[in-house]
Chain A
Amino acid sequence: MICDACKEQEATIEFTAVVGDEKKTMHLCPQCSKKESEKQAESPTPKVKPSPVASIKKVNVVIGQLTASEAQKDPCPGCGMTYEEFRKIGRLGCSQCYDAFGRSLRRLLKRIHGSDAHVGRGPRPLEDKARAPATAPEETSQDLEDLRQALDAAVDAEEYERAAELRDRIARQQERDVSET
């Protein structure tokens, strides 16, 4: 699909614009979507709400998961605590809450600590990881979770080009993981 704005580049982003009561959908390339976003930011009452839904299937899937996990409707399977309840009392119910509230919690951790990855001591002496094969390419050494987080960040920052690239890497990684097992 060709970009609705510049009619040159391939459109990878779907914009949903609300004009009055009407909903209008545009298909844009990354450059034009960026311009469009900037336009939105400048106008005092944004009429067009960019929605990061890309036209490529897999981005839809990943970003769909992302928006679903935003809501955090499901309670923690370990203790039954909901994200809403956690937000009220500020304390988690059990260690499984960290998985159950995954992304939202990691964003919170990042806001609190400026980081969401632990550096330092573990419960027992760490295993010697130095002997892991050093021939693996850069891409495979990064775990899926890192890539997903980078994707989160890219979507947050509305860097759709990077998001698309990360999505492809996640897909390749997943295929590799499947073929390995």
Chain B
Amino acid sequence: MKLDSLIRTAPSWMSGADDADGIVLSCRARLARNLANYPFATRITRPQQQQVIDEVLAAAKSSRSMSTATYFGMSVLDGDERRVLVERHLISPTLADEKGERGVLFNQDESLSVMINEEDHLRLQAISPGTRGREAFTAICALDDELLAAIDCAHDSRLGFLTACPTNTGTGLRLSVLIHLPALVLTEDMERVLQGLGQLSFTVRGMYGEGSNAAGNLFQISNQATLGASEESILEELIRITEQLVGFEREAQDSLRQEARGQVEDKVWRAFGLLSQARILTSQEFMNLLSAVRLGCTLGLVTGVPSSFLNHLMIATQPSHLRADAGRGLTPAERDLRRAEIVRNKLSEVTNS
């Protein structure tokens, strides 16, 4: 498989750096851009798509941040390999599944990537670990500047950057944080928090974006509006909201500690026991148990299990990663067996060291 070296490592944004509480896992910045002289995705021809790819790759080659990046055209990857990239957040399901000339360019530590010919000609992405949202934002602005110096971009002095979907017009910026809120879910306060976020025009989704469930109490919070507010103010707003959510989560954790200490400890250690001993783990069960163990780490009940370890497990036990690791196709039942085996082995490594 072409992605062999990729699947053995965790992306840098899963390193757990700056994630002292184990609450904010990562921050992501995305910019939507289009080339001025080509129709958008719904109207573009295949030869034009190829020209877009050529132009972007040439621009990337002469840039500082992406000159040594890896490029994969979707046509050289099979379905499973594309899924691996989806599971690593390097590409969207749209890029993986749609026909036409499409591809992705990403740097060594997977902190920066560019999808070419997705819904927009360019989708730039920067991810950073923990609460370092500003780092991702700075990185993406630098990449944007470098690429746009070499590319004629679809832009309007009044409306800003022109995108295929009017929901992205203006800045084209979507900023998001991946946040673990188990105590708010346990204390049933999440509903109220979600309502509050809606009023602030921030949306909440599951980890894999639109339409995905919040498995394992992981939520993705992102800005809705892209027009009328500057990039900087969107960033500040998201940082402010994230701090607030972390505060709410801490409060909920405190009240759990005070009012239900026994039950919480039991939940955490049962989860730990199951992860260490189970022979079959569905991905749903795994995510829920992992969330409980992560809560145990945040509460200081479980020690010696860094959040980078939990993050890596999360990536490594997804279906296409399991398949790639096995080197062959797996039935769902085989996958659940294999998931349990990997979790068991890795957990015994970390607890025995």
Q: Which residues of A contact B (CB under 8 A)?
A: 78-81, 89-95, 97-98, 105, 108-109, 112-124, 145
Contact = CB atoms under 8 A, between A and B. Distances in A.
* Interface SS, A side: loop
Interface of B: 34, 36, 38-43, 119, 141, 144, 148-149, 153-167, 169-171, 173, 201, 225-232
Nearest to B120: A91
B321 to A, nearest CB: 32
30 contacts: A80-B43, A89-B42, A91-B119, A91-B164, A91-B165, A92-B165, A94-B38, A95-B36, A95-B154, A95-B162, A105-B166, A108-B166, A112-B167, A113-B227, A113-B228, A114-B201, A114-B228, A115-B228, A116-B228, A117-B158, A117-B227, A117-B228, A118-B158, A118-B159, A118-B170, A119-B229, A119-B230, A121-B231, A123-B153, A145-B158
B162 A120 contact: no
B166 A112 contact: yes
A117 to B, nearest CB: 6
A92 B97 CA distance: 21
* Interface SS, B side: loop
Contacts of B165: 90-92
A113 B148 contact: no
A166 B156 CA distance: 24
A117 B39 contact: no
Contacts of A124: 148-149
Contact of B155 (A91, A109, A122): A122
A2 B272 CA distance: 85
B42 A120 contact: no
A123 B171 CA distance: 10
A95 B34 contact: yes
Contacts of A92: 40, 42, 162-166
Nearest to B227: A113
3 smallest CB-CB distances across A and B, nearest first, come from A115-B228, A118-B160, A113-B227
Contacts of A119: 160, 170, 228-230
A13 B148 CA distance: 50
Contact of A121 (B42, B141, B167): B141
B227 A109 contact: yes
Given A91-B165, A95-B162, A113-B227, A121 B154 contact: no
